[in-house]
Amino acid sequence: MTRRVGLTTERLTQAGAELADEVGFDQVTVSALARRFDVKVASLYSHVKNSQDLKTRIALLALEEMADRAAAALAGRAGKDALAAFANVYRDYAREHPGRYAAARLRLDPETAAASAGVRHAQMTRAILRGYDLTEPDQTHAVRMLGSVFHGYVSLELSGGFSHSAPDSQETWTRMLDALDALLRNWPAPPNTPLTHTG
């Protein structure tokens, strides 16, 4: 009378990601996942250390998927083309997989983060900037700014911030990418830093 369902860590992670997209990342619960497999809750604990572990795995999966998409999108592109393609990966992924996207924003402990696809993603942001004429430290500033805009925009859009108001979100997105491209092509020099300023 023993029925084996074939649980594995991978299947749980995958199903957890789907669950996240359906009901939201913070509704992802060991219990809900057990229900989905029609299995008792305790059974999951052989495959997953605990709830935190499960969520971390979903986050890593999401980071991996986003980095893969980004790599594919960047292939053969440069300059504004690359910038737009990269940005669209962000937005499209978040729209297709809101739960996974939320998971990707989970705070990972430093070692986990360092071993994640997040670093690959960051390197790609830097690669995009090679199409512009930025040198350190401005390149780092720009990397951080792009990360902020993309994450911020997607996050606000996802929480409904831009719906039900004109102009529509797509238009803002396009114009914003134009603006960012223009900014990167024309990155301002640091303002005068008065060092020994007499008078």
Binding stretches for a second copy (CB under 8 A): 26, 105, 107, 110, 137-138, 140-141, 144-145, 147-153, 155-156, 159-162, 164-167, 171-172, 175-176, 178-179, 182-183, 186-188, 190-191
Sole window of 45-53, 123-131, 145-153, 164-172 interacting with DNA (rule: CB under 7 A): 45-53
Using CA atoms, how far apart are residues 12 and 32, in angstroms rounded to an integer?
Answer: 11
Q: Which partner, a second copy, DNA, none, binds residue 197 by CB below 5 to 8 Å per kind?
A: none
Structure tokens at 127: 């690669």
> Should residue 3 be labelled a site residue for DNA when binding is judged by CB under 7 A?
yes
Q: Least separation, in Å, of the C-beta of 152 and a second copy? A: 3
Neighbours of 154 (CB within 10 A): 21
Q: Which partner, DNA, a second copy, none, binds residue 31 by CB below 5 to 8 Å per kind?
A: DNA
Binding residues for DNA, rule CB under 7 A, total 23
Using CA atoms, how far apart are residues 186 and 70, in angstroms rounded to an integer?
Answer: 25
Q: Which partner, a second copy, DNA, none, binds residue 191 by CB below 5 to 8 Å per kind?
A: a second copy
Please, which residue, 15 or 183, has the CB nearer to a second copy? 183
Cα 22–Cα 114–Cα 72 angle in degrees, nearest 5: 60
> Should residue 148 be labelled a site residue for DNA when binding is judged by CB under 7 A?
no
Distances (CA, A) of 93 to 51, 144, 169, 171, 188: 24, 20, 16, 18, 32
DSSP 111-145: HHHHTSTHHHHHHHHHHHHTTTT--TTHHHHHHHH
Please, which residue, 99 or 118, has the CB nearer to DNA? 99
> Should residue 46 be labelled a site residue for DNA when binding is judged by CB under 7 A?
yes
Q: Which partner, a second copy, DNA, none, binds residue 119 by CB below 5 to 8 Å per kind?
A: none
Query: What is the dihedral sign for C-alpha 174, 175, 178, 179?
Result: negative
Within 13 A of 80's CA, how many CA atoms are on the CB side? 13
Q: Which partner, a second copy, DNA, none, binds residue 76 by CB below 5 to 8 Å per kind?
A: none
For DNA, the binding residues (CB under 7 A) are 1-7, 29-32, 39-43, 45-47, 49-52
